[in-house]
Amino acid sequence: MIPISKPLMGDEEKNAVSAVLKSGQLAQGARVKEFEEKFAAYCGVKHAIATSSGTTALWLALLAHDIGPGDEVITSPFTFIASANSILYAGAKPVFADIDAETFNLNPELIETKITPRTKAIMPIHLFGYVCDMEALSKIARKHNLAIIEDACQAHGAAQNGKRAGSFGTGCFSFYATKNMTTGEGGMTTTDDDQIADRARLLRAHGMRVRYYHESLGYNFRLTDIQAAIGVAQLEKLDGFNESRSANAAYLNEHLESVSIPQIKRGYRHVFHQYTIRVKDNRDELQKKLEQAGIGTGVFYPVPVHQQPVYRNLGYREALPVSETVSQQVLSLPIHPALSRDDLALIAQKVNELC
Ligand X SMILES: *Cc1c(COP(=O)(O)O)cnc(C)c1O
Distance of alpha carbon 101 from alpha carbon 16, whole angstroms: 42
Q: Is the Cβ of residue 227 or residue 350 nearer to ligand X in the bound state?
A: 227
Out of 125, 229, 252, 256, the only residue in the binding site for ligand X (CB under 6 A) is 125
Helix (H, G, I), strand (E, B) or coil at 28: coil
Helix (H, G, I), strand (E, B) or coil at 120: strand
Q: Is the Cβ of residue 42 or residue 173 nearer to ligand X in the bound state?
A: 173
Site for ligand X in 58-117 (CB under 6 A): 79-80, 82-83
Site for ligand X in 264-303 (CB under 6 A): none
Asked if 187 is part of the footprint of ligand X (rule: CB under 6 A), the reply reads yes
Distance of alpha carbon 319 from alpha carbon 98, whole angstroms: 9
Q: Is the Cβ of residue 175 or residue 316 nearer to ligand X in the bound state?
A: 175
Among residues 341, 351, 347, 251, the alpha carbon closest in space to that of 3 is found at: 347
Helix (H, G, I), strand (E, B) or coil at 236: helix
DSSP state of 208: B
Asked if 248 is part of the footprint of ligand X (rule: CB under 6 A), the reply reads no
Out of 55, 119, 183, 190, the only residue in the binding site for ligand X (CB under 6 A) is 55
| Residue 28, amino acid | Q
Distance of alpha carbon 166 from alpha carbon 160, whole angstroms: 11
User: Smallest gap, in angstroms, from Cβ of residue 58 to ligand X?
Assistant: 6
Question: How far, in Å, are 12, 40, 112, 113 from residue 71 at the CA level?
Answer: 44, 29, 16, 16
Q: What is the pattern of x (binds ligand X, CB under 6 A) and - over residues 191-230?
A: ----------------------------------------
Q: Is the Cβ of residue 242 or residue 348 nearer to ligand X in the bound state?
A: 242
Residue nearest to ligand X (CB): 54
Q: Is the Cβ of residue 43 or residue 125 nearer to ligand X in the bound state?
A: 125
- The stretch among 17-25, 34-42, 146-154, 221-229 that binds ligand X (CB under 6 A) is 146-154
| Residue 327, amino acid | S
Separation of CA 182 from chain center: 12
Asked if 132 is part of the footprint of ligand X (rule: CB under 6 A), the reply reads no
Contact 222, 201 (CB under 8 A): no
Out of 17, 32, 43, 54, the only residue in the binding site for ligand X (CB under 6 A) is 54
Contact 256, 352 (CB under 8 A): yes
Distance of alpha carbon 20 from alpha carbon 9, whole angstroms: 16
Out of 17, 73, 153, 331, the only residue in the binding site for ligand X (CB under 6 A) is 153
Q: Residue count at the site for ligand X (CB under 6 A)? A: 14
Q: Is the Cβ of residue 54 or residue 108 nearer to ligand X in the bound state?
A: 54
Query: How are beta strands 275-278 and 163-164 bridged, if at all?
Result: unpaired
User: Which positions touch ligand X (CB under 6 A)?
Assistant: 53-55, 79-80, 82-83, 125, 151, 153-154, 174, 176, 187
